[in-house]
Structure 1
Amino acid sequence: MNEETKPKVRFFTIDSEEDGQRIDNYLVKTLKGVPKSMIYRLLRKGEIRVNKKRTKPEYKVVAEDIVRVAPIRISEKTNTVSTQLNIVSNLESQILYEDEVLIVINKPSGMAVHGGSGLSFGLIEALRALRPNTKMLELVHRLDRDTSGCLVVAKKRSALRNLHEQLRNKKVQKFYHALVKGRWSEKVTKVTEGLKKNDLKSGERVVIVDNINGKESETRYKVLQKYNGATLVRAFPVTGRTHQIRVHCQVKGHPIACDAKYGAEDFDFKMKEHGLKRLFLHAASIEFTHPRTEKRLKIEAPLGEELDSALQQLKKAS
């Protein structure tokens, strides 16, 4: 190892955008390729210091803090995602809106929002490969792997904090389109069953209705179009529980088309005959106050060819 490649002491100055982050989370993003376990070990041994002092993982960095990192070998190649991959390069065309503080993307169905659970990469890793010079890219919220549509990604810490606050205060409106089994009654405009997460022995997570121990949940519905044996509904989740729209549809006897966890086999079989091979749940639009301009911004995501085609087939059959 020559002097040029030998690891050196590194210093980082915290800027205003990074203010308020936990030091462990800051280091994971800054020291690309260094496992989280190693970061905790370095903090414990005092190999990483803030303002010359030892620090704990939960410490929240402050603007102008000086972070000193002892010499460590950093593998910049670890878990990088190639921009040559079709799935990554195709994401560029799915960007619905982008400015200096955020991106809104039409997430493809079948793509996880981030790597993990046996997946080498997800949408956020792919976006980082597409935007290598963007210092920060963080998910503002999540979508299930099989759900497509509007997903917001922050490019600045201040935008992330602002949008999280809007989510907490229910100032963000997210509308979904779902194709469900049977004829949804116009009278059913609200579903409020409590929801509880259950982890099965297989490690799979399912959500069940539990009005005693479950978390308070609310989804509002509007019928958009009725077909023979199916209904296209608009769903507005007032709360943001895991699998909320899917379980609320199921409990009312109208499971979503091609839902592997909460669906109905007979309905799914018919929908597959109409060319549908994926969950028909799409985040059609999102509306929020822009963190910088403070103007309301509404972004819409087109359904996509497969969902559109399935609706056309249903229309012909009705």
Structure 2
Amino acid sequence: MKEQKAPLTKVQMVEVTSEDEGQRLDNFLMRFLRKVPKTLVYRIIRKGEVRVNKGRAKASDRVHEGDMVRIPPVVVPETKVVTEGEIPLGQLQRIEENILYEDNDLMVINKPAGVAVHGGGGVDWGLIEVVRQLRPLAKRLELVHRIDRDTSGCLLISKKASVLKALQQQIRDNQFEKRYLAIVSGQWPKRKHKVDLPLKKEHLPDGGWHVSVAADGKPSVSYFTLEQHLKGCDLVSVKLETGRTHQIRVHALSQGCALLGDDKYGDREFNKRYRPLGMKRLALHAQFLGFTHPVTGQWMLLEAPLWPDFEKIIAVLSENSTGRVEG
């Protein structure tokens, strides 16, 4: 592994082109600061060091063609560069084998749990770095959206700036369909289908996030459907109307049903009890992803098969199973 000083010691003045019209400022910056930890990108925005047309801006602000974006010098003492051969061959093969769909414009991958969507923050590489190594001739590979490191399932990647722009506009217009499978502790409340509670995201000193229900939070809506009673927990499907950070985890917790394997919001003893049965991570899977193909106009609905650990825990805990949970 090579280490180098980050060559980000000069102010950059970047003009927004038509290809990046309407993109969020944080996403726009990350294309120019790929080797900079995500937390540092948000920090320079909050401190006002990033300027759009000489004015302060928020991470969620949209950039427009002709805007002039000032990107400040960023000091990163040591930056690890992912070089060819550094990502384990097994990881490259695993991602290649779990591409659900691919054409000249985009690709959908069944992301494994435990793989971050991008490097940074102490992570040498993420899924996007893997894909860039697998497809070196695709020069504009970008994440269309993100899912948590501990969540498995559908992740959409664009290959062209125009495709990225169109897909992110669909997200803003609530034209994406996102459906998840989750295992929650206890029993899901009867007749509780819609959870409409505002969520507030707060920065933690370690650079992470904590999300809670708060009156001054952003509107957040999730639809939960009970799929199956399990031993000591329930299998639910979740359809998102909004896509806030940790939305499913916090909305489930608000109903007294933390997600199995949730080390951040869940119950430690509950998780410990089920870990011997093979579920050693967050029981959340992005099962379906639906969108309109920006080039063909075709409605696409992709399904990510459950990973073996998720399938196993459902089988063991199903009512017809002989598996028992000791408590």
Q: In which range does the TM-score fall when normalised by the shorter chain? A: 0.7 to 0.9
- Identify unmatched segments of 5+ residues in structure 2: 1-14, 38-52, 58-62, 67-79
Q: In 2, distance between residues paired with 1:247 and 1:21? A: 29
Which residue matches 1:222? Answer: 225
**Pick aligned residue for 2:313 from 310, 315, 318:** 310
Which residue matches 2:178? Answer: 174
**Pick aligned residue for 1:282 from 269, 277, 285:** 285
Which residue matches 2:82? Answer: 79
Question: Is the CA contact (8 Å cut-off) linking 2:291 and 2:299 kept in structure 1?
Answer: yes
Which residue matches 2:8? Answer: none
1:140 aligns with 2:127: no
C-alpha deviations, 1:167-224, integer Å up to 9, x for none? Answer: 11111000000000011134010111111112233333110111x2111111001011
C-alpha deviations, 1:13-45, integer Å up to 9, x for none? Answer: x9x9846499x998986999899xxxxxxxxxx
The offset of 1:312, in angstroms, is 1.0
Q: In 2, distance between residues paired with 1:249 and 1:134? A: 39
Give the letter for the 1:164 counterpart.
Answer: Q
Question: Is the CA contact (8 Å cut-off) linking 2:18 and 2:64 kept in structure 1?
Answer: no
Which residue matches 1:88? Answer: 92
Q: In 2, distance between residues paired with 1:113 and 1:179? A: 22
C-alpha deviations, 1:232-253, integer Å up to 9, x for none? Answer: 0001111111000000011110
Which residue matches 2:300? Answer: 297
Which residue matches 1:199? Answer: 203
Percent identity over paired residues: 43
1:110 aligns with 2:131: no
Which residue matches 1:239? Answer: 242
Which residue matches 1:270? Answer: 273
- Count of paired positions: 271
Give the letter for the 1:107 counterpart.
Answer: K
Q: In 2, distance between residues paired with 1:191 and 1:279? A: 20
Q: In 2, distance between residues paired with 1:158 and 1:122? A: 23
Query: Aligned runs of 1:47-66 on 2, under 5 Å?
Result: none
SS in 2 for 1:298: strand
TM-score between the two structures when normalised by the length of structure 1 = 0.76
Give the letter for the 2:292 counterpart.
Answer: T
Distance 1:34 1:119, change over 3 A: closer
Which aligned runs of 4 or more in structure 1 are off by greater than 6 angstroms? Answer: 24-28, 30-35, 58-62
Supply the RMSD in Å over aligned alpha carbons.
3.2
Say which one has the larger Rg: 1
Query: Aligned runs of 1:117-132 on 2, under 5 Å?
Result: 117-132=121-136
Query: Aligned runs of 1:3-14 on 2, under 5 Å?
Result: none
TM-score between the two structures when normalised by the length of structure 2 = 0.74
Q: In 1, distance between residues paired with 2:312 and 2:243? A: 29
